Each structure stands twice: as C-alpha cells, then as structure tokens.
A and B are shown apart, each in its own frame.
Chain A
Amino acid sequence: MLHIQNLRKTYPTTDGEIVALDNLSLVVNRGDFVAVVGRSGSGKTTLLNMIGGLDTPDSGSVMVDGIDMVRLPPKRAALLRRKTIGVIYQFYNLIPELTLRENITLPTELDGREIDEERLDHILSVVGLKGREGAYPDALSGGQQQRVAIARALFGQPSLLLADEPTGNLDAENSREIMRLLTMMNQTYGITVLMVTHSEEAAASAGRIITMADGRIIDDRRR
C-alpha cells in the first residue's frame, strides 16, 4: 500500500540546517493500523505531510498504491488525494464557512460526484452527529469537530487515512471515542491507518507501533 524509500527533508534555518527526515524508509501493508510515536520534533508531522503530498522532500520517494506521490503533477496528485487519502489534522480540519454536512461532502463535491444521502445518513449516525448536519464548525466542540473530520474521511472512502494527533487536544473520554472510530474504520472498512500520537493509550489500539527519533525510525514493533 505504502512504500517509502530514503526519504530526506531538511529545513534551512538561521542556525544552519535542520534534518527533519533522515533517509527514512518504511513499508505499510494494506489494512495495517500503524501508530507513529516519538519525541516532539522527531519528524512525525513532516513524514505525514510528505505522504499526503502537502510538502515535497529533498530526495526519496513515496509510493501510494504503486504511484509516486513526489513526482506526480499537481493535478494528478490532487486527484489521488481526493480518491485514496483521507486526512485528519490536529487543527483546522474544517472550513468555517461550510456547515457540517457541506464539510463532509466537500471532497465528493469537488470530485463532481452525486451525494449518496443514505451513506451520509449512516456515517452521521456512526460518528454520533445525526441531527447536527446544518451546524457550522464554530458551534461544535473540539471533539465534535474531530468527528466531523473523521466523517469526511470516511465518506470519501479512502484506502489510506493519515491522522496527525487526532486526539491531541481532547479529553480522555473524547479521545477514546475518536480511537474507537479510527479502529472501526480500520476493521470494518479495511482502511489503512497511519496515526501520529503522543498518547500511549491511543498507540495501544494500533497493531504496529513505529518510534521515531531525529528523523529516523528507531523502533518498529508489531503486536
């Protein structure tokens, strides 16, 4: 599903170069649930951004389903993102000017496809937001907003889900709820999940835990 080879990314700063990713290689199989852990600044977010095509590496390749994301022209990369990759970030997942429903259907509408109302209804009840379709993100709590982002990812039927600290600013109860949803996405829908987290509890629900330090993978454990 995901083949990363010799990925390297450096950022120039006033005190010299920061190596965010240091020749990192990683293979993730279809249907895996991978948690990425590591100290702050170890390059986890950078890795996720590379896979999602939001940032370009200095060298190396990121193959998603056999397609190299790095060298794909922007238009094709956008199409790939829309169809196969779902993303959930810690902040700013939603567009404040769109209602909950419109946020969820955004990728589908950008794709010009018809909206499957039944599926939307089903997903809304899965994430527990039925009846709030018309609300704007401002009127939702942090946990609810995160659930909308999950619903959006789910509605797009991706084969790969990238989540950057999805429970980062949530309380224990909301975190458990989000983790339940992510596990469900992985097990029921067979979506490959790559999740960055600082929480041991969240990492515990993953089948594989990767530990990063200084832009490298220093530990890779399966349970």
Chain B
Amino acid sequence: MSPIRKIALRRIKQAPIKHLLLFAAILVSMMLISMLVFFSAETILRQNLAEKELPLSSFLQTVRLCITVAAGFLVLCSAIMIRIHIGLNRKQNEQLLAVLTSVGASPAQKKAFPFTQLQLIYAPAALCGILPGSLLGVTLGRRFLGTLGALISPAPSALLYLGVLLAQVIVGVGITALCCLLPQITFTPRSVISALKRQNPRAAVTSHSYRQSNTFKQKSLLRRLAQKSVDYSAPTYHTISLSFSISAFYPILMLLMMWHLLHVKVVLDANPFDGIETTGAVVSAVSHLFLCLGIFFLLLTLIGLASAWLMVRLQYANRRAAGKTYFSIGMDNADFRRVMRHELQTLILRSAIVLLIGTMIANTAFLMCVGG
C-alpha cells in the first residue's frame, strides 16, 4: 500500500465519528437530491398528455419548479458542508503537505492525497445515496401522479431512466470531486512555510490592522480579547457559524417549500374544470412527498448540528488551553468565561445573519416559482 493511502486510512481510523458524520451528510444529501431529481423526471415522463391543457398541468409545473429550487439549494448546502468538513482538516492537511514537500513528494504525489480521500469517503457516499434516492423518487412520482389521476400506464423505456441516473451520478460525483479537490489544488509554497512555522500570518495581519482602529480601542478589554480571538481563529468561527446556519436552514427550506406548495391549491380550488377533488387530492398527493422530505431534512439537520457541535467542542478545548495565558497575566475564571460569552455572541449573531439572508433568498426563489 502506498504511504499516501496509509495516511488517509489511518486518519479515518483515528477520527471515526467525524468521518462517519461526513459520510452520512454526503449520503443523505445525495439521496435527497436524487430523490427530487427522479421525482421530477418521473412526473415529466409519465404525465398524461391529455391533461396538459388543464390547470392540473400547471400545478404539476409549479411542484416541479419548487422541487428544482429546493434541489438547487440542497446542492449548494451540501457543497458548503463538504467544504466545511475539509476546512476542519485544513491545518492537518497543510502540515502533511509541508512534510511531503520537504521530503520531495512530486506534485502528482501530493495531489494523490485528496484523490485518495475522494476514493475512500466522498465518492462511495455519493454513489450509495444516489441509487436508493432515485428509486424513492420514482416511487413517489408515480404515487403522486396516481393520486392526481394523471398517470399514464405504459412506463417509458428503462434506457431513459438509465440516462437520468447516469447524469445524476456524473453530476453528484463531479460536485463532490470539485468540492474536495479545489482547496488542495490551490495549495501554495507559502502555506508550506507557515505550516512548518506553526503560525497564522494572515489572521495576524488582519487583527493587526484592526487593532489600529479607534472604535476598537474604545471597546472593553474583554470584548477586545474576544474579538481578537475570533479574528485569530477566523476560519474556525466562520466554519462553525456556517455549519449552524446550514443545519437550521434545512427545516426552513422544507417549511418554505411546503407553505408555497400548499398555497397553490387556492388556484386549483378556484377552477371548476380541474376534475379532481381539489384540496384533499392535492394534500394526499403531496403528503408522501412531504413525509419523505421531512425525514430527510430532519436527518440533515441532525447531522449538521452534530458536526457543528463537534467543532464547537474542539474550539472550546483550544480556547481552554489558551486560557492558561489569560490566567498567567492575572485574569480570573469569571473574566475568561466573559470572554467566551462574547465569542459565543459573535458566533450566534453571525449564524443568525447568514440564516436570515439565506431564508430571504430562498423565499424569493419560491415566490418566483409559484407566482410565475
């Protein structure tokens, strides 16, 4: 076995929970995305053409649009999640690459490391999610059309499904590959040196220029210390707050989608020619879809919260270790707790802002689907 592969395998063995969460996050996201894609595909492929002129087809159109939007946001969220997990190992990876460079690993050998990780975790997780997700999507789509009475009996050729599946696999694995290879490819000699030096020059520079400003000097000392710590471990705090906001964004996305979809029924109700038991039919048609979505979104939220919690605990341990410096210059435990509280406030504020912006964007997107 090549040394690079050995390193990748031992990393997994050393931190099984972290990697399990990552695997689960990718698996569930991919399952959900492919379920939505196949739901849309099935409703397009097997929709009764005779119904096309009826408002039913416009309802179907809206459902599909909403689902596409949700799938788009999900792809974005899972891409960010993967980046977050890779960010967790940034320091470790930089040090590894620094040692590899210093002992003369060629550029190709250095790139082999992220590729091995792709092979061991990201790609299997994506592939495991896609197949069951697509089967679920087809089943749900069929049931959906059946309830609305718009299912045509002859199933389209299996080749068509295979095509969609192939496209899905390519897109899914492509996205994961892109997410996990990009940060490593932009690796520069500068980071080798800083990794070997055990320093963080970028954060030091930003906090330095910050320290010069007047507003900063007027803040209380503890608040300033907290601010400096947040500046210094900026990547960690960004990661944690992003992780919290994404976890909270999943149920919000789900609720937004439900709300907008259930609103469409008013249009159906108002039309005397739709030929179906309006409200009841719509609710029963989408109920299975919503049930599945609910389970998936719940899983994603739990996984997201678990990994965010893991990061918080890690950062807290780091800060506790650094707390010794505060004690050595005569601060007491209460002061330290206050510093930690300020840091926590920053974290919560950031997560809330990101979440708010995300919600607004998602809401606009859904409004455009339903309104148009």
Contact = CB atoms under 8 A, between A and B. Distances in A.
A52 B102 contact: yes
Contacts of A172: none
A95 B7 CA distance: 8
A107 interface: yes
A75 B107 CA distance: 6
A45 B192 CA distance: 13
A45 B199 CA distance: 14
Interface stretch (A36-44, A85-93, A194-202, A204-212): A85-93
Contacts, number: 88
Nearest to B101: A54
Nearest to B103: A107
B164 to A, nearest CB: 40
A83 B195 contact: no
Given A49-B193, A74-B107, A87-B102, A102 B208 contact: no
Contacts of A89: 102, 196
Contacts of B104: 78-83, 85, 107, 110-111
A74 B188 CA distance: 12
Q: Pick the most buried of A45, A91, A110: most chain B CB atoms within 10 A of its CB.
A: A110
A177 B96 CA distance: 27
Contacts of B102: 52, 54, 81, 87, 89
Nearest to A80: B104
A188 interface: no
Contacts of B109: 78, 110
Given A81-B102, A87-B103, A89-B196, A109 B3 contact: yes
B324 to A, nearest CB: 19
B11 interface: yes
Contacts of B14: 97
Nearest to B192: A54
A54 B97 CA distance: 11
Nearest to A112: B2
Q: Is the interface of B mostly helix, strand, loop or mixed?
A: helix
Nearest to B7: A97
Contact of B205 (A14, A92, A110): A14
A102 B103 CA distance: 13
Contact of A93 (B6, B99, B189): B99
Interface in A91-150: 91-95, 97-98, 102, 106-107, 109-111
Contacts of A45: 197
Contact of A102 (B3, B11, B195): B3
Contact of B106 (A55, A75, A102, A156): A75
A152 B96 CA distance: 16
Contacts of B2: 109
Given A54-B189, A55-B189, A97-B11, A92 B98 contact: yes
Interface in B1-58: 2-3, 6-7, 10-11, 14
Contacts of B105: 78, 82, 110
A35 B100 CA distance: 25
Contacts of A83: 104
Interface string B84-104: 000000000001101111111
Contact of B209 (A14, A79, A109): A14
Contacts of A98: 3, 6-7, 10
Given A92-B95, A110-B3, A79 B106 contact: yes
A13 interface: yes
Contacts of A107: 103-104
A45 B2 CA distance: 31
A106 B103 contact: yes
Contacts of A75: 106-108
A78 B108 CA distance: 10
Nearest to B96: A95
A49 B108 CA distance: 21
Contacts of B196: 54, 89, 91-92
A94 B95 CA distance: 9
9 contacts: A78-B101, A79-B104, A82-B105, A83-B104, A95-B100, A97-B11, A98-B7, A106-B103, A107-B103
| Closest 10 pairs between A and B when the two form their complex, measured CB to CB | A82-B104, A81-B104, A97-B10, A78-B106, A97-B7, A107-B103, A87-B102, A74-B107, A78-B104, A109-B3
Given A54-B102, A92-B95, A97-B6, 19 more contacts: A13-B205, A45-B197, A54-B189, A54-B196, A78-B101, A78-B107, A78-B109, A81-B101, A81-B102, A81-B103, A87-B103, A92-B99, A95-B100, A102-B3, A106-B3, A107-B103, A109-B2, A109-B3, A110-B104
